[in-house]
């Protein structure tokens, strides 16, 4: 039987007493590589208690010491980069190059957390009244919780716990049960970097474990990334329990192709952004909107997609890997069938994809539809597979209206050589992350990851300054120091004198 994945509680790797297990499989072969325990309620309580106890010391740890922990951590992550990426590839099926990207985008957040001193600075105004100064300070919240999806097992945990812990909090992470081995290695390296016991705990499992964390009296803040249905449940339940919640959810990202764009750039960008990572990215381009004459490029986009070949993680010629599990593959195939049945034209069909040497992998080949209408499920729903849907419109205004009517607002991009068109698009589009001739505009950590509408529930986003606001309270101090004992008399108004 494959090895049971341990929990991490108070600095110790703990063998869970759970009897319910979820297998972790290699998506290219179905080989079971580990068993994930559904952590017991007592173990979840112990994890939260350990984080709560560690908070008492960590919250008063000097900011320089907190920053130095992150400096050591980012150095260790870089030192173990390739090993981590290999583990990540094996449990997700991502190509080695893509796994390295997943990790690297997380390391960038740890680098950013090294700046915690300047990021968490408050503000001061002298003489808000005569000889009275006002200043704000930021203080940590306590035990923060992170619930993460399967599709970025390095990057998304690293969006969360380094920023929360650098701010002075402690953390309980519940990674995806589908690929927990990468987050476990991240946690081991964090300990090796010198993280005191109790700063980071890891518990595993599904809904029951998440719900216990969501309703626990000692978890004031919840960060979630995953699907819309679960994100809505997390936001509702967490806020109902009066917690601070940020919930990043699903997406349907459109790329607008203007006829004045560089054709080669467009073709390469669409091919990479739509089927890269088998389309299992929340910022994947799943809809291409061809404006006017750019529709003539559709056959060439199709040909470029047809050349991208799925394959095993260590095949250097593979463009992407398998879907995460057989259910995801079935779901994607169902969408392809629905698209055909609804009358869309399937100009590239990856349903029957075979990868030599891997007969049991969850493969779906690049797939593309045209003549799609907005009432079809392939347009309305997040497919989360290597399926590109092409729509055709006559003007940029029509493209903007179409996208603003779509309920999702994670990412979008426009390809054009017109500054005026780009400026109009950037201003009018109701999507949180916009690329101008950049297909996957994931912001670097000096900014924040800013999904909108159905792609995000909450107020403060991930990493950057917004993460510091999310993971801290602001305290505002109004101070007067008396030089001599002057009798101002009794002041019964709220006017500062």
Q: Which residues bind ligand NAD (CB under 6 A)?
A: 147-152, 174, 176-177, 206-207, 210, 225-227, 230, 233, 248-251, 282, 382, 384, 410, 449, 451, 455
Report residue 120 CA to chain centroid gap.
22
Q: Which is nearer to ligand NAD, 138 or 448 (CB)?
A: 448
Q: How far is the CB of 41 from ligand NAD (least distance, A)?
A: 15
Token digits of residue 16: 């869970």
CB of 492 to ligand NAD, least distance (A): 51
Count other Cβ atoms within 10 Å, centred on residue 3.
Answer: 11
- C-alpha span between 218 and 313 (Å, rounded): 41
* Nearer CB in complex with ligand NAD: 151/201: 151
Q: Which is nearer to ligand NAD, 16 or 176 (CB)?
A: 176
- Specify the residue, 266 or 429, whose C-beta has the smaller distance to ligand NAD: 429
| DSSP per-residue string spanning 369-407 | EES--TTSHHHHS---SSEEEEEEESSHHHHHHHHHHSS
| DSSP per residue, 233-275 | HHHHHHHHTT-EEEEE----EEEEE-TTS-HHHHHHHHHHHHH
> Which residues is 4 bridged to in the sheet?
35
Nearest approach in angstroms of CB 411 to ligand NAD is 9
Contact 304, 268 (CB under 8 A): yes
Q: What are phi and psi of 451, to 5 degrees?
A: -65, 155
Under a CB-based contact definition with an 8 Å cutoff, are residues 116 and 167 in contact? yes
The DSSP letter of residue 450 is -
Answer yes or no: 282 catalytic: yes
Integer angstrom CA distances of residue 77 from 83, 91, 105, 307, 479: 10, 18, 12, 34, 44
CB of 491 to ligand NAD, least distance (A): 50
User: What's the min distance (Å) between Cβ of 152 and ligand NAD?
Assistant: 6
Q: Is 40 or 138 the residue whose CB approaches ligand NAD more closely?
A: 40
Question: Which CB sits closer to ligand NAD, 207 or 430?
Answer: 207
Which residue number has the CB closest to ligand NAD?
Answer: 226
Q: Which of 412, 438, 350 is nearest to 387 (CA)?
A: 350
Least CB distance from residue 464 to ligand NAD, whole Å?
14
- Name the active-site residue from 38, 114, 144, 282: 282
| Distance between CA atoms of residues 371 and 379, nearest Å | 11
Please identify every residue annotated as catalytic.
282
């Amino acid at each position: 039987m494959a090895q049971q994945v341990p929990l991490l509680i108070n600095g110790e790797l703990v063998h869970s007493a759970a009897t319910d297990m979820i297998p972790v499989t290699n998506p290219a072969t179905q080989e079971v590589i580990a068993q994930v325990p559904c952590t017991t309620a007592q173990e979840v309580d112990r994890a939260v208690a350990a984080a709560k106890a560690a908070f008492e010391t960590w919250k008063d740890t000097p900011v320089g010491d907190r920053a130095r922990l992150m400096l050591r951590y980012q150095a260790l992550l870089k030192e173990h980069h390739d090993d981590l990426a290999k583990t990540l590839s094996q449990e997700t099926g991502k190509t080695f190059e893509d796994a390295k990207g997943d990790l690297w985008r997380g390391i960038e957040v740890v680098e950013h957390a090294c700046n915690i001193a300047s990021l968490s600075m408050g503000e001061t105004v002298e003489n808000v009244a005569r000889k009275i100064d006002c200043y704000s300070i930021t203080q940590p919240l306590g035990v923060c919780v992170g619930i993460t999806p399967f599709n970025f097992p390095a990057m998304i945990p690293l969006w969360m716990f380094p920023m929360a812990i650098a701010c002075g909090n402690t953390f309980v992470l519940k990674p995806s049960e589908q690929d927990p081995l990468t987050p476990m290695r991240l946690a081991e390296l964090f300990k090796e970097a010198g993280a005191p016991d109790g700063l980071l705990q890891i518990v595993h499992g599904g809904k029951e474990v998440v719900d216990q964390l969501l309703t626990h009296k000692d978890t004031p803040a919840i960060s979630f990334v995953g699907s819309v249905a679960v994100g809505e449940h997390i936001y509702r339940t967490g806020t109902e329990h009066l917690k601070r919640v940020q919930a990043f959810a699903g997406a349907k990202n459109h790329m607008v192709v203007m006829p004045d764009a560089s054709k080669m750039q467009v073709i390469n960008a669409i091919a990479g952004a739509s089927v890269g990572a088998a389309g299992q990215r929340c910022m994947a381009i799943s809809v291409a909107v061809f404006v006017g004459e750019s529709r003539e490029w559709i056959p060439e986009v199709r040909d470029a997609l047809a050349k991208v070949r799925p394959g095993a993680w260590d095949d250097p010629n593979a463009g992407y890997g398998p879907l995460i599990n057989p259910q995801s593959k079935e779901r994607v195939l169902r969408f392809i069938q629905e698209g055909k049945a609804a009358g869309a034209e399937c100009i590239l069909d990856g349903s029957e994809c075979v990868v030599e040497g891997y007969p049991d992998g969850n493969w779906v080949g690049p797939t593309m539809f045209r003549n799609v209408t907005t009432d079809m499920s392939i347009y309305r729903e997040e497919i989360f597979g290597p399926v590109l849907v092409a729509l055709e419109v006559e003007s940029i205004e029509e493209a903007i209206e179409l996208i603003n009517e779509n309920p999702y607002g994670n990412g979008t991009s426009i390809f054009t050589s017109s500054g005026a068109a780009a400026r109009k698009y950037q201003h009018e589009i109701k999507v949180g992350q916009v690329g101008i001739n950049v297909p996957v505009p994931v912001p670097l950590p000096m900014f924040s990851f800013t999904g909108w509408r159905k792609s995000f529930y909450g107020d403060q986003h991930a990493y950057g300054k917004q993460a510091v606001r999310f993971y801290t309270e602001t305290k505002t101090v109004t101070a007067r120091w008396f030089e001599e004992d002057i009798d101002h008399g009794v002041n019964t108004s709220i006017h500062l004198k």
